[in-house]
Amino acid sequence: MVVEEQLLKIFRREDGFISGEELSQSLGVSRSAVWKHIEKLREEGYEIIAQPHTGYRLAGLPDKLLPAELGWGLRTKLIGKKIYSYNEVDSTNNLAWQFAEKGEPEGACVFAESQTKGRGRLGRKWFSPPGKGVYLSLILRPDVLPQQAPFLTILSAVSAVKAVRKVTGLSTWIKWPNDIIINKKKAGGILTEMSAETDRVKFLILGMGINVNNDRDSLPSNATSLKIEFGNPVSRIALAQEILRELEFHYLRWVDGKWKSIRGEWQNLSETLGKRVAVVCHGRSVEGNARDIDEDGGLLLRRDNGIIEKVIAGDVINMR
Ligand code: BT5
């Protein structure tokens, strides 16, 4: 463990002033080294008070998605066991993809404060201003068939909605397949990408973006943020941790073959189910009543001629 992480652990355990002498003994470094590590933590945004003859005290945490903050009290077995955080990246999905190709194990997660080329589906842009949202990408290596991969988007949407509800109490919904909706506006989105052979998934990258503390002027029209809806800023750390916990719970159930129980939750959280919709995909539009989802995460539409048609991707337009 790096010395800064050890220092944070001690500060959190003691919850008061600790002398430089005690710190230097616990860490096994000189007192001037202690001071240097404290300076490093301050540079990261930790507020540390130094009082002559008394010592140091942790007085404030940075509003940043740092591994030490995200990992503190997380208590997951798999998801987020390894966390990478960056100030700025092109896209967390790109970086996670590169890590996965180099053999990074399942459960590793990449966070960024901002993205210069945040992506949605079909190369669309994902607006990712610094310090406002949660932008994360997770490396997963499930033993499923490539055509089942879209179900990861379903379970991730369930996880995100449950996490937002837990942390804010806001009435939050899923628009099939990947939108997180509050008050009919988009507060988040999911982008699942896959590296696969014909009959084998090599890895999946689960990308998720949630607008947390954006004000109206820092969002596209028809988008919203948790702060706008909640009325107060929301802790990005608390939200990100809850997302990781929910993802672990649902992902482990999925790989255990229990997709039906996740479908049950999706049905309760979906704003698409039971509606008359048109799903537009590559210029083709299919209209019908949204009846259910299946094992592959596909949407089952009942056409006017009574036939059930399965759509596997697309944008949903609510017809009434
Ligand atoms: C999505 O695509 O909703 C998937 C978004 C995934 C973003 C995450 S952030 C971490 C990871 N790294 C990445 O590079 N991406 C993932 P889609 O359903 O295609 O929606 C894209 C559309 O949403 C855009 O065309 C805009 O209309 C709208 N949009 C863009 N930025 C938005 C934002 N911040 N909030 C709400 N809507 C937005």
Given this model, what pLDDT does residue 1 score? 60
Atom of ligand 1 nearest to the CA of 120: 2
Q: How far is the CA of 213 from the centre of ligand 1 (A)?
A: 16
Q: How far is the CA of 168 from the centre of ligand 1 (A)?
A: 21
Mean pLDDT for each 10-residue chunk of the chain (320 residues)?
A: 88 90 94 94 94 93 93 96 96 98 98 98 96 98 97 98 98 98 98 96 98 94 97 97 98 98 98 97 95 98 97 93
Q: How far is the CA of 93 from the centre of ligand 1 (A)?
A: 12
Given this model, what pLDDT does residue 2 score? 84
pTM of the entire predicted model: 0.95
Given this model, what pLDDT does residue 147 score? 96
- Distances in whole angstroms, Cα of residue 187 to Cα of each of 32, 127, 220, 237: 47, 11, 11, 17
Is residue 8 within 8 A of residue 73, CB to CB? The reply is no
Atom 15 of ligand 1: nearest residue by CA position: 119
Q: How far is the CA of 263 from the centre of ligand 1 (A)?
A: 24
Distance of alpha carbon 99 from alpha carbon 137, whole angstroms: 11
Q: Is the peptide bond before 177 cis (omega within 30 degrees of 0)?
A: yes
Pick from 126, 134, 161, 179 the residue to mutate for probing ligand 1's pocket: most ligand atoms within 8 Å of its CB: 126
Q: How far is the CA of 47 from the centre of ligand 1 (A)?
A: 34
Q: What is the pairing mode between strands 276-281 and 200-211?
A: unpaired
What secondary structure does DSSP assign to 237-273, as a single string? Answer: HHHHHHHHHHHHHHHHHHHTT-HHHHHHHHHHHBSST
Atom 28 of ligand 1: nearest residue by CA position: 126
Is residue 203 within 8 A of residue 105, CB to CB? The reply is no
Atom 10 of ligand 1: nearest residue by CA position: 135
Given this model, what pLDDT does residue 218 score? 84
Q: How far is the CA of 17 from the centre of ligand 1 (A)?
A: 44
Output the ligand 1 site: residues, CB below 6 A. Answer: 91-93, 115, 118-121, 124-127, 135-137, 178, 186, 189-191, 207-209, 211, 219-220, 223
